[in-house]
Amino acid sequence: MYNENIILVDWFAFTLHNDFTIDQVKEFLGLLSACKWLDMSGHYGYKQALYSGGIWIMWDGYSYDMGVCVEMSGQGCRQFETSSCKSFAQLFEDVCADEQQFHVTRLDVAYDDVDKEGDGLLDIVKICKCAYTGRYISKFSKSHPEVDCEPDKDGKVTRAHSCYFGSPKSELRIRFYDKSQERGGLGYHWVRCELQLRRDRALAFLKLKDSWGQRFFGVLDNYLRFIVPSKTDSNRRRAPSPVWWEKFMQSVGKITLYTPKGVEYNLTKLERYLFTQCGNSIDTYIQCMGELKFKEMLKHRDSYLNANQQALIDEYKQINDEKLKEYWNKHPWG
């Protein structure tokens, strides 16, 4: 059963120009009043920083053109999904819309193969064994895979933990590791396959129009393939892939993009954003120009409702229709 398999954002970092104030950065992230921030020392050459649950905002770099850096670790990504009034889809759209103002520096996208009843799709021992014995084709010709495994006295891989393809400094790196082992042994199968993308590769991934599953497997297929070498054909590129790899690569239709439970886009989040972050600006405009002008400007704005916003409208329309129907059933004569 692979119904728990998901794709999620596990790291995201970008920089903004210096004309952003720190409060404006928080507002851009949808986190102006949603988090408690701690004053910290920065890193990567930034002297000052704010930190909240894996999210870093860093500024005051050793050179003026370093701007402001936003970095979310895996924990920070979950914090963002829980606390921000924005979704990752909205944030990515905003960041990609102005490449002069924003610069994506890192994006990690992970596929979690979770199977609480069986062995899942990815076997970390098989993956490390193929890497260890050279049974793969990749575009990482300048670096050998880093394999963390425990071969027995005959050189056979019997225990394995992780396998990395690509240099740590390259713009693309592929990682496989046993997430269950990393968590101290969870008693069920959990292997993660992760793409670490930097700079231009990260931006290019975000700008693709395909589904996240198609993007993920498209990049993976372009850079790596495990093979079963032929004894009669020396051309490795004609060698077939093992069955387990084919099944994994064909699982694109069985996965979902990660959506944390309990933090869906809802009216409470909308109200928090509207009145906490935009309330004063809206009130000022209405007092200056009036409600009619405000409504007119809303109708002629240059943006459209996103999928989450439209879904919220449809949900409340359905609720109101059901309430109206129930009322007329109880009061057929008005």
Query: Is the same domain home to 157 and 36?
Result: no
Query: Is the same domain home to 227 and 274?
Result: no
Query: Is the same domain home to 141 and 253?
Result: yes
Query: What is the predicted pLDDT for the residue at 262?
Result: 36
Nearest to 20 by CA among 74, 93, 83, 98: 98
Query: Is the same domain home to 88 and 145?
Result: no
Query: What is the predicted pLDDT for the residue at 324?
Result: 59
d(CA 148, CA 163): 6
* Paired sense of beta strands 146-151 and 256-257, if any: unpaired
Final residue belonging to a domain, choices 57, 81, 100 = 100
What pTM value is reported for the model?
Answer: 0.75
Query: What is the predicted pLDDT for the residue at 19?
Result: 84
CB 277 within 8 A of CB 23: no
Query: What is the predicted pLDDT for the residue at 81?
Result: 87
| Residue 252 placed within a domain | yes
What is the amino acid identity at position 201?
Answer: R
Query: Is the same domain home to 243 and 135?
Result: yes
Q: What is the DSSP letter of 170?
A: S
Query: What is the predicted pLDDT for the residue at 280?
Result: 86
Query: Is the same domain home to 91 and 149?
Result: no
3-state secondary structure of 44: coil
CB 110 within 8 A of CB 7: yes
Query: Is the same domain home to 92 and 163?
Result: no
d(CA 29, CA 253): 31
Q: What are the percentages of helix, strand and coil residues in the chain, rounded to 5?
A: 40, 25, 35
What is the amino acid identity at position 190?
Answer: W
Query: What is the predicted pLDDT for the residue at 264?
Result: 45
Query: What is the predicted pLDDT for the residue at 318?
Result: 62
Query: Is the same domain home to 60 and 200?
Result: no
| Residue 237 placed within a domain | yes
| Residue 13 placed within a domain | no
Query: Is the same domain home to 168 and 81?
Result: no
Q: Who's near 216: CB < 8 A, 6+ residues apart? A: 7, 109, 111, 195, 252
Query: Is the same domain home to 42 and 83?
Result: yes
| Residue 1 placed within a domain | no
| Residue 5 placed within a domain | no
- State both tokens at 238: 């004609």
Q: What is the DSSP letter of 66?
A: G
- Domain range holding 299? 267-330
What is the C-alpha end-to-end distance of the chain, expressed in Å? 53
Query: What is the predicted pLDDT for the residue at 313?
Result: 74
Final residue belonging to a domain, choices 242, 259, 276 = 259
| Residue 7 placed within a domain | no
- CA 43 remoteness from chain centre: 23
Domains contained in the chain, number: 3
Query: What is the predicted pLDDT for the residue at 259?
Result: 46
Chunked in runs of 10, what are the mean pLDDT values of the chain (334 residues)? 73 92 94 86 95 94 92 92 88 94 96 91 94 92 82 71 92 95 87 96 93 92 94 89 95 62 52 75 90 87 66 64 58 56
Could you identify the residue written with the tokens 């993007």? 215
Query: Is the same domain home to 121 and 137?
Result: yes
Q: Who's near 108: CB < 8 A, 6+ residues apart? A: 9, 10, 11, 12, 74, 194, 195, 196, 197
Query: What is the predicted pLDDT for the residue at 83?
Result: 85
d(CA 82, CA 265): 10
Query: Is the same domain home to 83 and 141?
Result: no
| Residue 9 placed within a domain | no
Final residue belonging to a domain, choices 241, 259, 277 = 259
Tell me the backbone φ, ψ of residue 123, rounded to 5 degrees: -105, 110
d(CA 57, CA 68): 7
| Residue 3 placed within a domain | no
